[in-house]
Amino acid sequence: MATPKKDTLLFVCGQCGFESRKWLGRCPDCGAWDSLGEQQKPLVLRPGRKAATAQPLAAAGEEETARLVTSIGEMDRVLGGGIVPGSLVLIGGDPGIGKSTLILQLLSSLAAKGLKVLYVTGEESVRQIRMRANRLNIEDPAISVSTENCVEAIVDLAGTMQPALLAVDSIQTVYSEEVGSAPGSVTQVREATARLLALAKSSHLPILLVGHVTKDGAIAGPRVLEHMVDTVLYFEGDRGQVFRILRTVKNRFGSTNEIGVFEMQESGLVGVDNPSALFLAERPVNVPGSVVLPSVEGTRPILVEVQALVSRSSLGTARRTAIGADPQRLALLTAVLEKKLGVTLFDHDIFLNIAGGIRIIEPALDLGVVAALLSSFLEKPIDPGTVVCGEVGLAGEVRAVGQMEMRLREAGRLGFKTFLMPESSTRQLQSKAREGLHLLPVRTVAELADSLFRA
């Protein structure tokens, strides 16, 4: 059996796509260990070069940028108002989180408007897709299904059918005939995405790609995959909970860090119009360690419950666990409390949780974390009509955060009476006090503790 020539082999990193002519124990690009795998060098075709062309920006027609509204409110929100023609959208998430269900519901919504859509799946048979459609009560002949895996055949099929939207589930199962490696490899994923990207831009066909994720939560394949597409959405949530969060990580046509909230029901995913009320529905009243935070995700204010449990540790090293928040930020705020308030926490286990399965990454969470930790440590509950918002610095000072008016309106709409916030933000919002909210300014964590627990 003839062996491949040495110059036709490449070693490709499975994490970032770095290519090397020889095997390396550690990737010099991303630093991953034992990530380089042997692949045959793809055949490079060199057709005749075409002359480059250009046109004035003002000559681009406005009708080409009209968005395709899906009529799924939460989906349209994270996309910035709908799907832009010619865009490439990547949706990632854990197995079983609901990616394929959401795609099928989206296609059904567009088909109900009389649009022809194409669903290409490399992981399921047509019969299995039909079973899911029956469970979701989807009966629409405008949805066409194909089980093709070859990207060249998919491009030809899309050119023949001329659908209004193409969905590919998943990109890791698609391969190119011109690449010798197996489907799902770095080279194949990159090449298949490049072919679909060229199809989207040349024909103004919007394409949705479903991507697998690794154990670290990142989309499998080369990191360049996220740079190639126009929009990256992550489906978050625990399969044991009914809530699902669709988060925008990248969007060339709208706001980033936007989220859509869905509830998994027997009939499929249902958008949640009022997530604040949903996240606070089971909030305990007059229980130490619980406080409400008015957070802002993209253009949407959401009230969430911050829970903390501080208990004396029986181990040599106390534990610090954060769910839905940054563990490093929790350690920092714990050190600030010990240094500035003299609270002894080094021998206490600390557990922090953002109820509802949502993840908060903005610095406005700091003051809520500090309030919840003090409440649990002192065994004193916080007034249930109080919301807390602000950033905490290393000197114990409370710093201003943005979009306070939006947070204020959402808190007042849900009936809260007291808004504990940075003093620098209060000066700009004094006129809002007549809306029924009492603004309580604080400058340091010491003033926070005095305002909440002085009794």
Residue given tokens 């009560």 in the structure block: 137
Side-chain-side CA neighbours of residue 13 (13 Å): 19
Write out the two tokens for 424. 């620098």
Within 10 angstroms of residue 95's Cβ, the number of other Cβ atoms is: 8
Report whether 361 belongs to an annotated binding site: no
41 among annotated binding-site residues: no
Q: What is the dihedral of CA 208, 211, 216, 221, to 10 degrees?
A: -110
- Taking the C-alpha atoms of residue 442 and residue 426, their distance in angstroms, rounded to an integer, is 9
- Does residue 354 have a known ligand-binding role? no
Query: Is 97 labelled a binding residue?
Result: yes
Q: Is 94 annotated as ligand-binding?
A: yes
Non-local CB neighbours of 263 within 8 Å, separated by 6+ positions: 242, 243, 244, 269, 270, 271, 272, 278
Ramachandran region, residue 319 (left: φ > 0; alpha: ψ -120 to 50; beta: rest): beta
Question: Which neighbouring-strand residues pair with 304?
Answer: 293
Q: What is the radius of gyration, based on Cα positions, of the chain? A: 26
What is the three-class DSSP state of 381? coil
Q: Is 95 annotated as a binding residue?
A: yes
Instruction: Give CA angle at 400 (380, 395), nearest 5°.
Output: 70
Is 5 annotated in a binding site? The answer is: no
**Residue 93 annotated as part of some ligand binding site:** yes
Annotated binding site for ATP: 93-100
Which residues line the annotated binding site?
93-100
